[in-house]
């Protein structure tokens, strides 16, 4: 099971639409969840609409929360997405076995249901899980990064407790040198020093959410480099840059 | 993934199970959680607690766990009464029926009846945890809200959404009771996880360490020592300190051991005063030693005279 959890506080303003990128991720079997962090200032109607749309396109959940609730939200999303993924798989199997268009658990008599849910619980606990946290590190996120570090740490603790193989990566966007995304913490099942995450925030940074999602998708596919990732060659990126010049995205500088 | 509306049965409405056909008349709502609501219901003149869940898989998962811990002999035998679905606006919702526990939420009980009731309540809870652990399960989400206390300190665990098999990850927890939140261990279900949460529960019930439980405590400052220091400075905690220390630092190898220690604590706590008790012990031992020395010297002198 593969998940991206995007943590942001505003609109993307560079590159391919993040909604398109999220749909692409889902087609690669990666669920995209989005958390909008809304402590200082407003996230705006457009920002919240984009957050909902990214999650919808990525088959995941979206939530708007204050920094204090970030850890719990990330935790809950991960768990719910795991459940959802497993239940979809089991549901599809049931349909195939029973030869019906749709099978709800409540269509099954209690004793059969008990056995199926036992299998579901087992799979939720033991299936391999990969979670990539993709963190908006633009200037406005700076006051919230302590909460993000804490959420990373907290999620890692929950993943460590799972029986199944679990690993976590942390990516930020934009990178320090202007790249669209950068790996802060490579795939790991154990966390190194959280304090070192997001050390260098680029004050003039743009918010290339779409390209960053695409880079994360290719990181899942096995780009193990831990240096900066650039989005050259990512579908739609050159067209998107032209859009910036035309002012379609550039209105929403965070 | 989410349900846009949820069933809200009002007082007087009747829920009928679609598999077994048993009917329950709703009296009122007892409480609501993240994944469902619990109602007080009546069937054939007897009162029960009925939980309606939003997700049938979540309900079934809880029912599976409850079945495992209530089967056969034990303090929870007969706790789970019925499980079924009812249809509301053409959608099936799962529910299960439990024994109705009439009582106050633990913190309210202690506030009203006095902190000395903690010794009884604590012992009852440790007994229930010992039973769960022996069955291979961990309660998980132990907190003041999930403990109901009836007359004379009869404490019961309620809300079994956190039940997790030992060795697996804890299914549901609350931050300030979470061992991992306090950097005191993993989030893996083992008896020590519940015992840690029980330690925090004691602090909460004795109103100790309020400042530790405020949001915004820096992660690097969260440690069991902080909780222990809070316990040491709270007079209400004094007689529980030896137990609290072991609860919060993983000092018990089993819940049975914690139970025995808690029980032993009750008698030392109430049968002799804290300070004069130890002074008496000291005086008694000294007296014993002095009389032994005197006796030996008498024997020595007597023998010397004989020779």
CB contact under 8 A, A105 and B63: no
Under an 8 Å CB criterion, which residues of A touch B?
Answer: 61, 68, 71-72, 80, 83-84, 87, 104-107, 109-110, 113-114, 117-118, 120-121, 125, 150, 153-154, 157-158, 160-163
Contact B86, B16 (CB under 8 A): yes
pLDDT of residue A198: 80
User: One digit per residue, pLDDT tens: chain B, 307 residues?
Assistant: 444 468 889 999 999 999 999 999 999 999 887 788 999 999 999 999 999 998 899 999 999 999 999 988 888 888 999 999 999 988 999 999 999 999 999 999 999 999 999 999 999 999 999 999 999 999 999 999 999 999 999 999 998 999 999 999 999 999 999 999 999 999 999 999 999 999 999 999 999 999 999 877 888 889 999 999 999 999 999 999 999 999 999 999 999 999 999 999 888 766 655 554 444 555 666 667 777 777 777 777 777 776 6
What's the rounded Cα separation, in Å, for the pair B232 and B62?
38
- DSSP string across A196-211: GTT-S--TT----HHH
Cα–Cα distance between A52 and A183 in angstroms, integer? 25
How high is the pLDDT of residue B37?
A: 93
* Spatial contact of A25 and A4, defined as CB atoms under 8 Å apart: yes
User: ipTM of this predicted complex?
Assistant: 0.79
First-last CA distance in chain A: 32
What CA–CA distance (Å, rounded) separates B263 from B198? 15
Give the count of beta carbons closer than 10 Å to the beta carbon of residue B258: 25
**pLDDT at A41 (0 to 100):** 62
d(CA B269, CA B201): 20
In this prediction, residue A243 carries a pLDDT of 38
The segments of chain A whose pLDDT lies below 50 read 225-228, 230-254
- Pick from B60, B168, B170: which is nearest to A105 by CB? B60
Residue B135 neighbours by CB under 8 Å, 6+ apart: B68, B69, B74
Active site residues of B: 141
State the best of B20, B56, B57 to mutate against chain A, taking most chain A CBs within 10 Å: B57
What domains can be seen in chain A, in order of their start residue? 2-86+129-221 (3.40.50.410)
From the CB of residue B263, how many other CB atoms can be counted at a distance below 10 Å? 14
Strand locations in A43-136, DSSP E? 59-65, 129-136
**Bridge partner list, A62:** A34
Nearest to A84 among B1, B188, B215 (CB): B1
Give the residue from B55, B168, B193 with the most A CB atoms within 10 Å of its CB, the best one to mutate: B168
| Whole-number pLDDT of residue A231 | 43
Query: Nearest-CA neighbor of B242 among B223, B230, B253, B228?
Result: B228
A83, A161, A163: residue with CB nearest B186: A161
């Amino acid at each position: 099971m593969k998940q991206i959890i995007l943590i942001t506080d505003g609109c993307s303003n560079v590159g391919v639409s993040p909604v398109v990128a999220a749909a692409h991720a889902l087609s690669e079997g990666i669920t995209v969840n989005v958390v909008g962090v809304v402590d200082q200032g407003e996230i705006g109607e457009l920002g919240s609409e984009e957050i909902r749309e990214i999650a919808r396109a990525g088959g995941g959940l979206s939530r708007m929360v204050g920094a204090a609730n970030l850890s719990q939200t990330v935790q809950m999303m991960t768990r719910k997405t795991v459940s959802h993924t497993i239940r979809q798989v089991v549901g599809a199997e049931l349909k195939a076995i029973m030869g019906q268009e749709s099978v709800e658990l409540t269509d099954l008599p209690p004793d059969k249901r008990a056995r199926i849910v036992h299998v579901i619980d087992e799979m939720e606990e033991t299936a391999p899980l990969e979670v990539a946290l993709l963190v908006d590190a633009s200037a406005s996120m700076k006051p919230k990064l302590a909460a993000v570090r804490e959420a990373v740490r907290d999620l890692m603790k929950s993943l460590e407790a799972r029986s199944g193989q679990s690993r976590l990566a942390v990516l930020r966007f934009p990178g320090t040198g202007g790249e669209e995304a950068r790996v802060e913490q490579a795939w790991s099942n154990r966390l190194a020093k959280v304090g070192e995450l997001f050390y260098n925030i680029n004050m003039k940074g743009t918010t290339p959410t779409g390209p960053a999602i695409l880079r994360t998708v290719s990181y899942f596919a096995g780009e193990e480099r831990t240096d900066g990732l650039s989005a050259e060659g990512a579908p739609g990126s050159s067209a998107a840059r032209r859009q910036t010049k035309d002012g379609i995205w550039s209105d929403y500088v965070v | 993934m989410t349900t846009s509306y949820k069933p809200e049965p009002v007082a007087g409405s009747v829920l009928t199970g679609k598999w077994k056909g048993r009917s329950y008349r709703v009296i009122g709502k007892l409480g609501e959680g993240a994944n469902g609501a619990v109602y007080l219901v009546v069937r054939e003149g007897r009162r029960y607690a009925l939980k309606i869940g939003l997700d049938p898989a979540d309900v079934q998962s809880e029912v599976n766990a409850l079945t495992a811990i209530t089967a056969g002999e034990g303090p929870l035998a007969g706790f789970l009464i019925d499980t079924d679905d009812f249809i509301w606006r053409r959608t099936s919702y799962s529910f299960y029926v439990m024994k109705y526990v009439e009582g106050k939420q633990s913190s309210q009980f202690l506030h009203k009846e006095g902190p000395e009731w903690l010794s009884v309540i604590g012992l009852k809870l440790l007994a229930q945890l010992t039973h769960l652990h022996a069955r291979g399960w961990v309660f998980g989400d132990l907190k003041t809200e999930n403990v109901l206390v009836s007359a004379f300190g009869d404490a019961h665990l309620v809300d079994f959404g956190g039940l997790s098999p030992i060795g697996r990850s804890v299914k549901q927890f609350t931050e300030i009771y979470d061992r991992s939140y306090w950097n005191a261990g993993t989030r893996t279900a083992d008896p020590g996880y519940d015992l840690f949460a029980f330690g925090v529960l004691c602090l909460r019930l004795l109103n100790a360490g309020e400042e530790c439980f405020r949001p915004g405590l820096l992660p690097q400052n969260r440690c069991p020592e902080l909780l222990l220091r809070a316990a040491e400075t709270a007079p209400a905690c004094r007689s529980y300190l030896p137990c609290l220390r072991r609860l919060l630092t993983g000092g018990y190898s089993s819940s049975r051991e914690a139970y025995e220690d808690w029980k032993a604590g009750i008698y030392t706590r109430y049968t002799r005063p804290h300070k004069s008790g130890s002074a008496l012990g000291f005086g008694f031992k000294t007296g014993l030693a002095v009389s032994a020395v005197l006796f030996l010297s008498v024997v020595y002198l007597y023998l010397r005279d004989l020779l």
